[in-house]
């Protein structure tokens, strides 16, 4: 149906007389009037109809100003990638030098997020008007979103350098040099390299990174030439380690470079000028001789030079020693148990590992344990650096733990220290990961940026979803620099994944979702050319299988949200997915949309097919049983849910016994038991239900053979307390006893725990003992086996007897204690008429009996004699032919003095 607003827009199209010749009369106000029309369309929910009308008009009149503007702005407001109509509109006004309109249109685009075309155009506007400050601000924004723009980044660096802002200049030059490397423009790269050497020559890791990229994108000879220009500044500040590393890299590209070979010898002489054997080791390595391969010569020299008087060494058999003297080709080394042990240089190089003075093994040998432990606990970062550097600057947490416990830290101290250490390894910029090993850590000489640290971890991850989680964590931290080369490369990996794979696999879907999440945080990163979710969804062969294979929970949730927004049959999809992954979002969205038919079908299916959809059924019971709509709209009673849970409990017990899907059934069994018993849901229902419902539920529970007997007994006892005359199915009337075995609740629960420990701990432990004894040979002569069998018989007898006692026990109701006669739960004061002494007793049951505290059982001889006598009464009884005469002086509740009951 065509609305009045759409008719108005169509009328404007038909009346439009603007041409390129009349553009001079067009003002910004005309566009502001169209903005009013756009807001009206949004308010009336007609934005999409207006956009479609504009697009239709453009098919016939491609340069319609009104249609271009309406279509372009409405597309941006829908977060569509296509900005071609606004680009065309701006180009029309640029060709006619209408810079004020161009500025307005560019600014309107930027209201919806950073846009390379709009920023570049706005920069031209300010340049044409000689507004340099505004132009530089726009350029700064442009280079942060356009990762190919190198010339402007260089120009901004030059401006900062002219202004004396070296830090700012370095930042822009770094951006520019990476972009020129990508473009393979070596002259520009060399120019910026030289400037950066002058401004920031100590940022060695940066230069090495650029060098590697130059070698990859251009060639190694160019990389070596640039490295050589970095050497003088390092030598000038006596940084011999870096100088040597630079020369090694140069020689890796150009092994015949005689100048580099000569320079590295000079650097070694400076670094080891105090070494007693320097010249000797240079001579025997032939590092100065061109006929010897340079890399082999360097390896030999570095192996030899590590040996010097005072250095610590490690031998795989003798442990740690210290070089005491070197004479000619002979080393004298002091080991524990081998003082002054002599060894030739050749043997030493093959058998010994030189240890730095701060190697963790040396520290454990030379420092007091308490002092070292205190230092480790006070400075975890130092401890981590020490251990990691001790093993070639690469160690995982297993190695770190092995070095610190138990030699330095106790197990308890490690547990506390480990938490802080892991946090440091993750967040401290001085720690990084070894390439391709996400679990191995290294120490950085120069602090590493969070983005680079994340990138190294990203590259080391092999699992797709771990890579996705790594980038997602970086975005979530809100400290990411989206214009950094590290971030861009990780982001591009996923965008390329989406564009390069036409199928709708779980990795493509997950990549699309992650890219959308990042674009929502940084709109200017939108690469364009991505499929819509509708297009992507249409490629999926099986929604259920694809969804199940998405490993990340947050991506699963985002997939559901995308289905909800974009899929026409989303209700049906939600119901199908719930059986695979029951989550609250699915239920809430269906309920909010009033999809009661779908919810009714879902719940009915779960109630009927709980054996098939176990996880979904348990989730429904645990999370939805309290929802009013479940009972009121769908007529699902709590009893139905409990019946399903008890049946599922029995089913999982049987599957576990039959070794069918053990892990899954144990997990489900544990969840059902938590809900029914630990959370008390079954007990709560039984205490409020009528007798018929109790019979139905308890009868089901009683058939669950592997259920802990104490649970069944406890529920039975509670039912008896509520309904004293309640008769359980299968319980003969003859079993009813007038008094039975009376016990307190405390002793009943203690006996239950004792029975549970016997069944769950002692009997299984005995079974293991029998198994171990059987493995020791001839059973006829095996005393351990016989003893274990005897113990097994004893334990089974004890368990059987205890279980029978628990079943016969009746928990005494404390509210029924009477003080008009002696009974269970009373404290009685007696006068012994034979001795004239006063005696006090508490009358309880055999489980609570404690003669030393004068607590007696009502079943004992004295307890039976006391039973039912009233205050003032005299009574006589005999024990072992001895006669006793007592007068009952007073009777009171036992808890009045000590709370026995």
Provide the token pair at 630. 């479940």
Q: 850 — phi, psi (to 5°)?
A: -150, 85
**Which range among 356-360, 617-621, 783-787 shows the weakest confidence by mean pLDDT?**
783-787
Contact 625, 640 (CB under 8 A): no
Q: What does the pLDDT read at residue 26? A: 75
Q: What does the pLDDT read at residue 642? A: 92
Choose between 647 and 631: higher pLDDT.
647
Between CA 611 and CA 605 the distance in angstroms is 11
Q: 184 — phi, psi (to 5°)?
A: 60, 35
Give residue 260's pLDDT band: very low, low, confident or very high (50, 70, 90).
very high
For range 332-343, the mean pLDDT: 86
Q: Would you give the distance in Å from CA 738 to the centre of its chain?
A: 60
Contacting residues for 882 by C-beta, under 8 A, at least 6 apart: none
Torsion of CA 285, 289, 290, 293, to 10 degrees: -10
Q: Is the pLDDT of residue 749 over 90?
A: no
Average pLDDT, the chain: 85
Q: What does the pLDDT read at residue 138? A: 92
Contacting residues for 565 by C-beta, under 8 A, at least 6 apart: 533
Between CA 647 and CA 655 the distance in angstroms is 12
Between CA 677 and CA 587 the distance in angstroms is 26
Between CA 568 and CA 171 the distance in angstroms is 49
- Greatest Cα pair distance in the chain: 135
Contact 5, 40 (CB under 8 A): yes
Q: Is the pLDDT of residue 329 over 50?
A: yes
Q: What does the pLDDT read at residue 774? A: 67
Q: What does the pLDDT read at residue 163? A: 93
Burial of 640 (0-12, 13-18, 19+ CB in 10 A): middle
Give residue 634's pLDDT band: very low, low, confident or very high (50, 70, 90).
confident
Q: Is the pLDDT of residue 739 over 80?
A: no
Q: Is the pLDDT of residue 740 over 60?
A: no
Between CA 303 and CA 473 the distance in angstroms is 42
Q: What does the pLDDT read at residue 22? A: 62
The predicted model scores a pTM of: 0.56
Provide the token pair at 605. 């299916």
**Which range among 523-532, 630-639, 817-826 shows the weakest confidence by mean pLDDT?**
523-532
Helix (H/G/I), strand (E/B), else coil: 290: coil
Give residue 667's pLDDT band: very low, low, confident or very high (50, 70, 90).
very high
Maximum average pLDDT range among 302-311, 570-579, 622-631, 705-714? 570-579
Per residue in 768-783, pLDDT (tens digit) is: 877 777 666 555 556 6
For the chain, what percent of residues have pLDDT higher than 90? 29
Q: What does the pLDDT read at residue 732? A: 45
Per residue in 204-259, pLDDT (tens digit) is: 888 998 998 899 889 999 999 999 999 999 999 999 999 999 999 999 999 999 99
Give residue 805's pLDDT band: very low, low, confident or very high (50, 70, 90).
confident
Distances in Å between the Cα of 896 and the Cα atoms of 197, 725, 826 are 90, 30, 9
Torsion region of 337: left, alpha or beta (phi above 0 gives left; psi -120 to 50 gives alpha): left
Per residue in 588-599, pLDDT (tens digit) is: 999 988 899 999
Q: Is the pLDDT of residue 626 over 80?
A: yes
Q: Is the pLDDT of residue 199 over 80?
A: yes
Q: What does the pLDDT read at residue 659? A: 86
Per residue in 818-872, pLDDT (tens digit) is: 888 898 889 999 999 988 899 999 999 888 888 888 899 888 878 888 888 899 9
Q: What does the pLDDT read at residue 2? A: 59
Helix 570-578 and helix 596-608, axial crossing angle in degrees, nearest 10: 20
Torsion of CA 95, 101, 106, 109, to 10 degrees: -120
Q: State the CB neighbour count (10 A cutoff) for residue 612.
A: 11
Give residue 79's pLDDT band: very low, low, confident or very high (50, 70, 90).
low
For residue 81, cis peptide bond before it (omega within 30 degrees of 0)? no
Provide the token pair at 600. 């009714």
Q: Is the pLDDT of residue 899 over 50?
A: no
Q: What does the pLDDT read at residue 276? A: 82
Q: State the CB neighbour count (10 A cutoff) for residue 867.
A: 15
Give residue 458's pLDDT band: very low, low, confident or very high (50, 70, 90).
confident
C-alpha closest to that of 65 among 4, 7, 12: 12
Give residue 658's pLDDT band: very low, low, confident or very high (50, 70, 90).
confident
Q: Is the pLDDT of residue 898 over 60?
A: no
Give residue 20's pLDDT band: very low, low, confident or very high (50, 70, 90).
very low
Contacting residues for 284 by C-beta, under 8 A, at least 6 apart: 300, 304
Per residue in 157-184, pLDDT (tens digit) is: 999 999 999 999 999 999 899 889 988 9
> What DSSP designation does 823 have?
-
Per residue in 471-502, pLDDT (tens digit) is: 888 888 776 677 677 888 888 889 888 888 77
Q: What does the pLDDT read at residue 777? A: 56
Give residue 1's pLDDT band: very low, low, confident or very high (50, 70, 90).
very low
For the chain, what percent of residues have pLDDT higher than 70? 94
């Amino acid at each position: 149906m065509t609305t009045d607003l759409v008719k108005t827009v169509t009328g404007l199209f038909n009346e439009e007389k603007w041409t390129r010749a009349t553009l001079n009369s067009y003002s910004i106000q005309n566009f502001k009037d169209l903005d009013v029309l756009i807001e009206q369309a949004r308010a009336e929910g007609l934005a999409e109809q207006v956009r479609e009308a504009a697009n239709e008009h453009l098919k016939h009149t491609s340069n319609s100003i009104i249609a271009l503007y309406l279509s372009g702005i409405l597309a941006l407001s829908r977060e569509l990638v296509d900005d071609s109509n606004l680009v065309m509109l701006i180009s029309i006004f640029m060709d006619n030098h209408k810079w004020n309109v161009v500025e307005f249109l560019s600014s309107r685009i930027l209201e919806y997020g950073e846009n390379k075309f709009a920023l570049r155009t706005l920069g031209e506007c300010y340049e044409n008007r000689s507004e340099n400050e505004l132009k530089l601000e726009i350029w700064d924004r442009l280079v942060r979103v356009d990762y190919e723009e190198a010339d402007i980044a260089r120009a901004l660096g030059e401006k900062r350098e002219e202004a004396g802002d070296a830090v700012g200049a370095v930042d822009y030059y770094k951006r520019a040099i990476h972009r020129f490397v990508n473009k393979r423009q070596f002259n520009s790269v060399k120019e910026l390299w030289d400037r950066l050497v002058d401004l920031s020559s100590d940022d060695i890791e940066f230069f090495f990174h650029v060098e590697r990229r130059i070698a990859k994108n251009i060639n190694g000879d160019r990389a070596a030439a640039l490295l050589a220009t970095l050497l003088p500044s390092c030598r000038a500040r006596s940084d011999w380690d870096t100088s040597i590393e630079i020369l090694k890299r140069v020689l890796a590209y150009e092994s015949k470079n005689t100048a580099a070979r000569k320079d590295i010898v000079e650097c070694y002489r400076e670094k080891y000028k105090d070494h007693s054997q320097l010249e000797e080791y240079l001579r025997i390595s032939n590092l100065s001789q061109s006929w010897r391969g340079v890399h082999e010569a360097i390896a030999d020299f570095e192996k030899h030079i590590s040996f010097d008087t005072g250095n610590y060494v490690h031998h795989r058999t003798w442990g740690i020693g210290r070089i005491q003297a070197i004479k000619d080709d002979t080393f004298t080394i002091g080991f524990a148990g081998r003082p002054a042990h002599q060894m030739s240089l050749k043997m030493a190089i093959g058998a010994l590992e030189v240890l730095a003075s701060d190697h963790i093994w040396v520290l454990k040998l030379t420092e007091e344990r308490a002092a070292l432990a205190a230092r480790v606990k006070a400075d975890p970062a130092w401890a981590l650096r020490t251990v990691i550097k001790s093993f070639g600057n690469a160690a995982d947490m297993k190695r770190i733990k092995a070095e610190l416990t138990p030699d330095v830290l106790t197990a308890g101290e490690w547990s506390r220290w480990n938490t802080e250490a892991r946090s440091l390894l993750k967040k401290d910029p001085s720690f990084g990961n070894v390439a391709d090993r996400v679990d191995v850590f290294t120490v950085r000489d120069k602090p590493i940026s969070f983005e680079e640290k994340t990138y190294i971890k990203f590259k080391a991850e092999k699992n797709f979803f771990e890579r996705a989680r790594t980038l997602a964590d970086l975005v979530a931290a809100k400290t990411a620099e989206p214009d950094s080369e590290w971030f861009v490369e990780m982001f591009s990996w996923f965008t390329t994944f989406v564009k390069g794979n036409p199928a709708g696999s779980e990795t493509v879907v997950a990549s699309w979702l992650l890219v959308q999440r990042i674009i929502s945080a940084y709109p200017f990163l939108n690469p364009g050319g991505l499929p819509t979710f509708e297009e992507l969804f249409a490629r999926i062969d099986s929604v259920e299988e694809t969804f199940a294979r998405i490993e990340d929970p947050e991506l699963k949730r985002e997939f559901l949200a995308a289905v909800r927004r974009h899929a026409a049959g989303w209700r049906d999809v939600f119901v199908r997915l719930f059986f695979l992954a029951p989550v609250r979002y699915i239920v809430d969205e269906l309920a909010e949309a009033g999809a009661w038919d779908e919810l009714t079908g879902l719940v009915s299916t779960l109630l009927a097919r709980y054996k098939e959809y176990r996880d979904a059924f348990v989730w429904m019971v645990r999370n939805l049983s309290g929802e009013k709509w479940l009972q009121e709209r769908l007529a699902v009673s709590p009893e139905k849910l409990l019946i399903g849970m008890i049946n599922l409990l029995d089913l999982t017990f049987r599957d576990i016994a039959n070794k069918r899907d053990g892990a899954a059934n144990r997990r489900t069994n544990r969840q059902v038991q938590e809900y029914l018993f630990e959370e008390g849901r079954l007990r709560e229902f039984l205490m409020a239900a009528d007798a018929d419902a109790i019979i139905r539920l308890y009868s089901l529970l009683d058939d669950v053979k592997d259920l802990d007997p104490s649970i069944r007994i406890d529920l039975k006892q509670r039912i008896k307390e509520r309904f004293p005359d309640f008769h359980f199915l299968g319980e003969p009337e003859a079993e009813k006893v007038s008094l039975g075995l009376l016990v307190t609740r405390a002793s009943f629960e203690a006996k239950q725990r004792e029975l549970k420990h016997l069944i769950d701990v002692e009997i299984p432990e005995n079974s293991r003992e029998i198994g171990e004894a059987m493995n020791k040979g001839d059973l006829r002569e095996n005393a351990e086996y016989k003893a274990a069998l005897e113990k097994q018989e004893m334990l089974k007898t004890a368990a059987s007897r205890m279980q029978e006692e628990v079943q016969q026990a009746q928990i005494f109701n404390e509210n029924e204690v009477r003080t008009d006669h002696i009974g269970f739960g009373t404290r009685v004061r007696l006068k012994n008429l034979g001795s004239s002494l006063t005696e006090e007793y508490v009358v309880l049951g055999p489980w609570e009996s404690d003669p030393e505290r004068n607590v007696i059982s009502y079943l004992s001889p004295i307890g039976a004699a006391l039973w039912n006598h009233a205050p003032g009464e005299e009574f006589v009884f005999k024990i072992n032919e001895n006669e006793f005469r007592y007068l009952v002086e007073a009777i009171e509740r036992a808890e009045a003095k000590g709370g026995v009951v």
